[in-house]
């Protein structure tokens, strides 16, 4: 019999599947071009040509037993980790070496390794709403509890006053995600410094360190020259999780890394525990061929201009139509105020106009909806009259 603990996930999954199936059914009935699907955060820009070239070259040039073999260290290839460290040092003026880097099975695998390393059962993890809903599931994997720090609309910067009140003896970590899914908000250096100041003070007060887990799969997707500060430089008790899922459009290849700075509390034990955590969790090591590919393509990024064009077209189109929304500075999402009190009802009404979007309550923030603009530019342009008609209909 299936574990009882899995049944809430099974029930939740049928809602996701229903949405998937509905999208496919609508595309069949009305034609793909007449369905405006903004529901998924799946990159719409193909991986850079360098990725496929790197795969071919590696297969031709390198020893098959090595590139398809187990890694000597579960943390990943030493030279790949050194390449990642030097890349970060060039960009951020840090002084990492291979020792600080652990290759992971995407950001999701990395977050689970980080949590296995840092959390004991009963510990609490705080996350600023709205947040990527899987965080709660990941914390539960390790017997920890995720608590949502209330959102601070309309700007959706982290609600530091609420965070401070919520920190207690059980608090072990705070997850941050900038550029953010689902709001597109980027946290400024000033905000992060204030967060660090609170965490330092509270760590002292409760007698153990509170770690930041900085989830950064959208780091490169930042627009208008906005600065995305490197969090370890502001708060050393930070573990950074990165993946190439979005920046190289490789979500199916499951490749990313964690950064453990030397300055963090109990560094030597933490890095050893993380190395073992990947094995204990059954990942063993990150996909070996993809580690090599990531290292060869370390300077590459996706076509950010394409996402930026989508961002501007959708944001400007929706504002012009009368919707309310904070202008996103990063990632590929817009978090729009639901014109109906019930965000689920608004999503249902949108579907009548062939628009597929996700209710904010899926990100612990009811009253809003998320639009993923990683779609064809034409889909955005064609969708705008339908968004206008939808709002007109609601307002009567």
Binding residues for ligand PLP, rule: CB under 6 A, are: 41, 106-108, 132, 177, 181, 215, 217, 243, 245, 251, 256
Find the DSSP H helices in 160-303. Answer: 160-166, 189-206, 267-280, 288-296
**CA 284 distance to own-chain centroid:** 22
Closest CB to ligand PLP among residues 258, 355: 258
DSSP string of 311-341, one letter each residue: HHHHHHHHHHHT--BPPP-BTTEEEEE-SSS
Shortest Å, Cβ 217 to ligand PLP: 5
Shortest Å, Cβ 177 to ligand PLP: 5
Q: Is 183 helix (H, G, I), strand (E, B) or coil?
A: coil
Closest CB to ligand PLP among residues 250, 391: 250
211-215 and 171-176 beta bridge pairing: parallel
Shortest Å, Cβ 205 to ligand PLP: 29
Closest CB to ligand PLP among residues 96, 132: 132
Shortest Å, Cβ 252 to ligand PLP: 9
Closest CB to ligand PLP among residues 107, 365: 107
Q: What is the DSSP letter of 61?
A: H
DSSP string of 192-229, one letter each residue: HHHHHHHHHHHHHHHTS--EEEEE-TTTT-B-TT----
- CA proximity to 112, closest of 281, 297, 304: 281
Q: Are 51 and 248 in contact (CB under 8 A)?
A: yes
What crossing angle do the helices spanning 106-118 and 134-141 adopt, rounded to 10°? 40
Shortest Å, Cβ 215 to ligand PLP: 5
Shortest Å, Cβ 219 to ligand PLP: 11
Shortest Å, Cβ 307 to ligand PLP: 14
- CA proximity to 143, closest of 169, 107, 104, 116: 116
Helix (H) or strand (E) run with residue 128 in it: strand 124-128
Shortest Å, Cβ 218 to ligand PLP: 7
Closest CB to ligand PLP among residues 181, 237: 181
Closest CB to ligand PLP among residues 75, 181: 181
* Residue labelled with tokens 């342009």: 381
Q: Are 184 and 373 in contact (CB under 8 A)?
A: no
Closest CB to ligand PLP among residues 251, 328: 251
Residues in the chain: 396
Closest CB to ligand PLP among residues 335, 387: 335
């Amino acid at each position: 019999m299936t574990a009882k603990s899995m049944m809430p996930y099974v029930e939740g999954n049928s809602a996701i599947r229903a949405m998937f199936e509905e999208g496919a059914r609508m595309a069949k009935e009305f034609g793909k071009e007449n369905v405006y699907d903004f529901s998924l955060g799946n990159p719409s820009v193909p991986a850079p040509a360098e990725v496929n070239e790197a795969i071919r070259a590696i297969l031709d040039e390198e020893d098959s037993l090595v590139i398809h073999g187990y890694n000597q260290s579960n943390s990943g290839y030493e030279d790949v980790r050194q390449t990642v460290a030097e890349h970060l040092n060039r960009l951020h003026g840090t002084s990492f070496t291979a020792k600080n880097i652990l290759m992971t099975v995407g950001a999701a695998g990395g977050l689970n390794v980080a949590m296995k390393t840092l959390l004991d059962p009963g510990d609490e993890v705080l996350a600023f709403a709205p947040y990527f809903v899987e965080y709660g599931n990941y914390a539960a994997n390790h017997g920890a509890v995720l608590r949502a720090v209330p959102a601070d609309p309309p700007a959706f910067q982290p609600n530091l006053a609420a965070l401070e009140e919520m920190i207690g003896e059980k608090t072990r970590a705070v997850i941050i995600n900038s550029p953010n899914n689902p709001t597109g908000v980027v946290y400024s250096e000033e905000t992060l410094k204030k967060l660090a100041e609170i965490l330092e003070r509270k760590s002292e007060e409760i007698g153990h360190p509170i770690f930041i887990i900085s989830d950064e799969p959208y780091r490169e997707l930042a627009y208008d020259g906005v600065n995305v500060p490197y969090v370890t430089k502001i708060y050393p008790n930070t573990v950074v999780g990165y993946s190439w899922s979005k920046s190289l459009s490789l979500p199916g290849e499951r490749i990313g890394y964690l950064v453990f700075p030397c300055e963090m509390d109990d560094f030597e034990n933490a890095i050893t525990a993380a190395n073992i955590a990947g094995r204990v969790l059954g990942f063993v090591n990150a996909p070996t061929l993809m580690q090599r590919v990531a290292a060869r393509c370390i300077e590459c990024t996706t076509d950010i201009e394409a996402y930026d064009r989508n961002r501007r077209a959708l944001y400007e189109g929706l504002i012009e139509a009368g919707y309310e929304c904070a202008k996103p500075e990063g990632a590929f999402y817009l978090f729009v105020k639901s014109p109906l009190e019930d965000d689920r009802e608004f999503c249902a009404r949108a579907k009548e106009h062939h628009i597929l979007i996700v209710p904010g309550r899926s990100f612990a923030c009811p009253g809003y909806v998320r639009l993923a603009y990683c779609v064809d530019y034409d889909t955005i342009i064609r969708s705008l009259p339908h968004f206008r008609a939808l709002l007109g209909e609601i307002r009567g």
